[in-house]
Structure 1
Amino acid sequence: MRLRFTLRLLMLLPLTLMAGCEETPNGRSQLTLVPENLMTQMGEDAFDQLQSQQPASSDVAVNRQVQCVAQKIVNAAEEYYSAAELPDAWEVVVFENPSPNAFALPGGRIGVNTGLLRVAETPAQLAAVIGHEVAHVLADHGNERLTQQLGIKAALLVVGMLGEGDFGQRQLMQALGLGAQLGISLPFSRTHEEEADLMGLEIMARAGFDPHQSVALWRNMATVGGGQPPEFLSTHPAHGSRIEALQQAMGNAVEAYNDSNPADCS
């Protein structure tokens, strides 16, 4: 029985790989085998869990600014990357958390910590962060990373459980220890981070935010973040490498910014 099941998996492997082999909006080939409805469900579960654990900010001015920046970023992303699979709607919440962080989850959930606003000193710097996080969702980096971590066999099991309904999906998530961690603790690779940086730069520029502020943001991050591990030991690019890549792409971003309507989220 076990041998028959293994042979069946091996026979399905080429077809599944072809079905899951896609391209990011930037044209990079990627393998994404986790069903999108499962990704969306895990994103919603993660967001609901976070909302139950952390209070939302009641600062009207802060919420107004974050909502303004996020909406302009989402509008620009949907217009420029219109061929990408996009969430039907986006929800934005500002969390009372001193950690300088933000995230975007499959299904269109965006979280911004109040601690980030002490590092992102201008609306344009906040736009650089939100643009980066939205780019992760547009490029389906969560699905790609999860596929890599689960391995081909586990991904095939995911595909094979499509017909088993919600119970099968919950069972799989519990068995793999995923729970509500997707998008919050799941680390992206350096390739994903670099791609999200460049996509985010394009998005913020088209949304009407000065792309030069992305470099200022990462300089601020380097100041508050202290020392980083050597780049070859980290899934994230070193601050210097990140800034250099952004500067190299700045010419096209500036052109897009000059053609846009300046954003006002002050």
Structure 2
Amino acid sequence: MPESSGETETNERVTDSQGSLSTHKIVSLISQFADDHLTLVRYISTGLAVAGVIAIARSIKLVTTFQAASEIPARFIERNVSLRGKVHSVTERGLEVEHVPIYLPVISPILSKCKGGCTSLMLVHLVGVELTPQGRVWLQKNLAPAPTVWLKLISREDDMLHCLVSQSRQGSMWSYCLNEELLTLGLARTAPLVGVLPDSSLYWRLLKRLHRAEVKAERKGRGLWKQDSLWERASKVVMDNAVFRLMRRILKKTHD
């Protein structure tokens, strides 16, 4: 005989009730396991969280130590990202800088152990600046011993990075741009902006910024723009005059 509607509803209720009991039983078992192994669950959760953060940090190169200019992603150059570094020496080609990535308490030690802790220096050129010998001496004096600097990436050329280099002033929380400082002191002159498109807004911003610093040094007569005083220029003209030289020779012979 076919089942009545009442019997069908009763069977469905029994089935739903059994399903609810099974689900409740599973949840209870999981909860009981978590309570009994609370420390293990915490370790697993922490491990998964750390693994997730490491994966994200690696994907965006947050804690990556760059050993050479070629290792820096192109998007970092395009977006003019700033990197932290430590200056090791000042050479005729530029600054030799060790990249110092952002430090994360748990992740950074793990990654440094995986890489073995080896370091390599990157060659950095102060963009838009041609140093004088005095400017190189000034850098060697002010960038010792191994200060921390910020490198604003402008362009890349083979193994060299062209950057705006900034450093914190001693006893101050404010930083200053070494490119501008050298030009302002008359220890360098402006140079072509390598790797920057002339029709880009970045090109004109940099050009205006560096040119303004150079003009300031020229107006104040600093460094390579220093001029002799009026008395020094007049004395030089007199000393170079042919008549004056002849008179000196005559007087010298007379005394002899």
TM range (shorter): under 0.3
Q: Which has the higher helix share?
A: 1
Please identify which structure carries the higher strand content. 2
Larger radius of gyration: 2
Provide TM-score, normalisation by structure 1. 0.26
TM-score normalised by length of structure 2: 0.27
Which of 1 and 2 has higher RCO (CA within 8 Å, sep 6+)?
Answer: 1
